[in-house]
Amino acid sequence: MAPAVPLAVLALVALGLGVAPGLGMAPGCDYPAHRWCSSRDTAVACQVESRCPSLPRPVAAPVQLSLYYESLCPACREFLAMKLFPTWLLLPEEMLNITLVPYGNAQERKVSGKLDFICQHGPEECLGNMMEVTVPVPTACLMHEAKNFSTYFPVIFCLESGSSVTKNLEACLQIYAPEVDSGRITACVQGDTGVALMHHNAQMTNALQPPHQYVPWITVNGKHTDKLQAQAEASLLGLVCDLYQGKKPEACGYSKALKFPAGCRR
């Protein structure tokens, strides 16, 4: 059974539009009036899309946000814990896609034929960066063990918002992901896999265009500008809501701007 055509659409036929019953109302529309709302393609061809409320809405692409950061950078920790995580909690999953790249201003070097890393805030930060590695490869330490973003992001939030990024792993896992084996994460961090993941994050960070100048460094839909960075730091929820092309959730009405400290410069 064909979908019922709204009276408003049928009324167009009766108005002085020069449209004969059974003919389309626009060039390329060869459908009778009762089929104008039968599909989105037909409605578009007949220029009546806005008058067919029963049509399913097209799926909007999620806003893509990538955060390049350091695990011990105060501004990074505050942005992740006070802006990014709350925004992720408030918005539906299909609206925001987040990529975390812990590396920042670290430096990569070879020592005795093996990769080594120097981090801006010392060896503890390098350890924290390895623990939080979340790059899209199957063996990524925390991501591999936690399986999905909705499991490992709360753990990372717990680490970044707590007193110690490197010493609270066990406690954070017990609270947010008790099914994840901390021993396997530790083995990854201490083995070749953790080094390989840090190297991957180094490559991702070094490939940024324009090159990152500080952390946190934020890209939105693959782009970084001073304006986007300032908007994300001032009101991330508001920025995502403005950019999303689909139906806005109620949370988009709650956006409030908060100020954050300057990023960790080189």
Place of tokens 């990524």: 140
Strand, coil or helix: what is 185? Answer: helix
CA distances to 88, 137, 256 from 251, rounded to whole Å, are 11, 32, 11
Under 8 Å between Cβ of 63 and 248: no
Strands (E) in 44-180, as ranges, are 63-69, 96-102, 107-111, 114-118
The DSSP code for 82 is I
Which residues have C-beta within 8 Å of that of residue 227, sequence separation ≥ 6?
none
Place of tokens 């010392």: 122
Look at residue 209 and tell me whether its pLDDT is greater than 70.
yes
Domain ranges (residues) in the chain: 63-246
| Encoded tokens for 209 | 């265009």
Strand, coil or helix: what is 264? Answer: strand
Q: pLDDT > 90: what percent of the chain?
A: 39
Is residue 95 very low, low, confident or very high in pLDDT (cuts 50, 70, 90)?
very high
Per-residue pLDDT tens for 110-127? 666 666 556 554 444 444
Domain 63-246 has CATH 3.40.190.10: no
Query: Mean of the pLDDT values across residues 68-77?
Result: 88
Query: Mean of the pLDDT values across residues 169-175?
Result: 91
Per-residue pLDDT tens for 221-262? 999 999 999 999 999 999 999 999 998 999 998 765 434 445
pTM: 0.71
